[in-house]
Structure 1
Amino acid sequence: MRLSPRDTVFFDLFAATAANVREGVGLLSEALDSAADRSAIAERLKEVEHHGDEHTHEIVRRVNSTFVTPFDREDIYRLSGGLDDVLDDVEAALDLMVLYRVGDLPSGVGDLVDVLDRAAELTAEAMTRLRSVDELSDYWIEVNRLENQADQTYRRLLATIFSGEYDALTVHKLKDVIDTMEAAVDGFETVANIVEQIAVKGS
C-alpha cells in the first residue's frame, strides 16, 4: 500500500519524532560511562523528551483538525503514543541512574543499550518511509528479533545482579534501571507491531 499524500505533515512529524527518540537513546548510551556527567546528560535528555512531547501534541492537534488522514486516526494516535512511551522510558532509565547515584553498571547493560540504539536507528529510518508502509516488513521483523535478543540479555543481567556480587540495595537500584531499559525495548517492538498492523489494514 502506498499512502496518498493527503496531509504529508504527518509523515514529517513521525520522522522528526523518531529522530528525536534516537537522539534520546544516544544520550542514554553516552551516560553508561561511570565517569560521565550523568546529571548534565540527564538534563539534555529532558530537553529531548520535551521536544518529543511537542511532536506528540502537534500530531494530536493535526489529527483533530484534519478531515482526511493518511491512515486510521486511531493508528496515528497509537503510533504517536508508542514513540512517546519509548522516549519516556529512556528518559526514566537515566533519571533513575542519577537519582540512585548508580556507579559502575554490569557489562551486560551496554549490550541492552546497544539493542536500544539499533532499534532506535531502524525505527528512525522506517518512519521516513511510512508513505510505503507495506515495504517495511524487514523493519518490524528485525525489531522483533532485537526484542528477543534483549530478553536474553535481560535474563543474563538478572542472573548477574542476583549472583551475590551486589548488596541488596544495589540490586534494587540496578533492577529498576534495567527493567526500565527493557521496557523501552518492548516499546520499540510495540511501535513496530503498530506499523505492521497499519500495513495489514491497507493490504
Structure 2
Amino acid sequence: MGLRLTPQETSFYSLFATSADLLVQATRELTRLLEAAPSDRQPIADRLKELEHEADDATHAIIKRVNSSFITPFDREDIHGLAAHLDDCMDHMEEAADLICLYRIGELPSGLAGQFEILSRMAEVTAEAMPRLRSLQNLSSYWIEINRLENQADDLHRKMLAGLFNNGNDAIHVMKAKEIIDGFEDAADSFEKVAHLVEGIAVKES
C-alpha cells in the first residue's frame, strides 16, 4: 500500500465491524427459527426485524460519515457499495424469515438447515475480515472462503428447488417455499458481493 500523507477517518472501520457483527447475530436468530415450533417463530422474526433496523442505522451512519468527511480511508464509491452490500445481506435474511411467518409455513423447506449453516459461516468470516480493512492485509483467505461458500450455497439452492418441484407439492406451497429459498440464496449472493468489493478495494489500494 502506498504512503498516505493525510490523516484518515478511522470510524469507518468500527462502523463496518458493527454491520458485520449484526449479521452474525442475525444468523444466530435463523438457527433459533429453524429449531422453533411454528407458534414460536414470530418473536424470532421480530428480533430479526430489530436487527435489520440496527443494520439500517449503521448503514446510514456510514453514509453520513462519507458525506461529512474530507478524507476517507478508500474511495467514497467503494465505501457506499460496501455499506449497501452489507445491508443487503441483512435485508434478504430478515425478509425471507418474515415470509416464513407471514405465509404460515408449517414444515420448513428441506435443506433450509444447510442454507442457514452456510449463511452463518459467511457472516462469521465476514465479521472476522472487517477489522482487517484498516490494513488491507491478510484478506485473500476471506474472499476465497466466501467464494467457496457461495458455490456451496448455489449447489444447495439448485437441489432444494429440484426437490421442491419434483416432490409433487401443490402449486401454492411451491410458490411460497421457492420465495423463501430464493431469499436466503439472495443473502448468500450479497455476502459474495461484499467479498468481491473488498477484493477490489485491496487491489486498488495496494
TM range (shorter): over 0.9
Match of 2:144 among 141, 146, 149: 141
Equivalent residues in 2 for 1:47-86, closer than 5 Å? 47-86=50-89
Distance in 2, matches of 1:104 and 1:116, equals 20
The residue identity in structure 2 corresponding to 1:30 is R
Identity of aligned residues (%): 53
Q: Which moved more, 1:117-126 or 1:25-34?
A: 25-34
The residue identity in structure 2 corresponding to 1:18 is A
Match of 1:100 among 94, 103, 106: 103
The residue identity in structure 2 corresponding to 1:65 is S
Paired position in structure 2 for 1:202: 205
Computed over aligned residues only, the root mean square deviation of the Cα atoms, in angstroms, reads: 1.5
- C-alpha deviation, 1:78, in angstroms: 0.2
The residue identity in structure 1 corresponding to 2:33 is A
The residue identity in structure 2 corresponding to 1:91 is E
Distance in 2, matches of 1:189 and 1:2, equals 27
Paired position in structure 1 for 2:93: 90
The residue identity in structure 2 corresponding to 1:75 is D
Distance in 2, matches of 1:110 and 1:133, equals 33
Paired position in structure 1 for 2:16: 14
Q: Helix, strand or coil for the counterpart of 2:127?
A: helix
Paired position in structure 2 for 1:30: 32
Distance in 1, matches of 2:2 and 2:198, equals 13
- C-alpha deviation, 1:164, in angstroms: 2.7
- C-alpha deviation, 1:135, in angstroms: 1.7
The residue identity in structure 2 corresponding to 1:156 is K
Contact 1:147 1:185 in 2 (8 A): yes
Deviations 1:81-129 (A, max 9, x none): 0000110001001011011011112331111111000000000110121
Change (3 A) 1:3 1:193: farther
Distance in 2, matches of 1:133 and 1:144, equals 18
Q: Which moved more, 1:149-158 or 1:35-44?
A: 35-44
Q: Helix, strand or coil for the counterpart of 1:70?
A: coil
- C-alpha deviation, 1:29, in angstroms: 2.1
Runs of 4+ in 1 over 4 A off after TM superposition: 2-5
Distance in 1, matches of 2:42 and 2:90, equals 17
- C-alpha deviation, 1:3, in angstroms: 9.2
Contact 1:49 1:91 in 2 (8 A): yes
Deviations 1:170-200 (A, max 9, x none): 1111100000000000000000000000001
- C-alpha deviation, 1:132, in angstroms: 2.0
Unaligned runs of 5+ in 2: none
Unaligned runs of 5+ in 1: none
Distance in 2, matches of 1:200 and 1:167, equals 49
- C-alpha deviation, 1:165, in angstroms: 3.9
Match of 2:153 among 150, 154, 164: 150
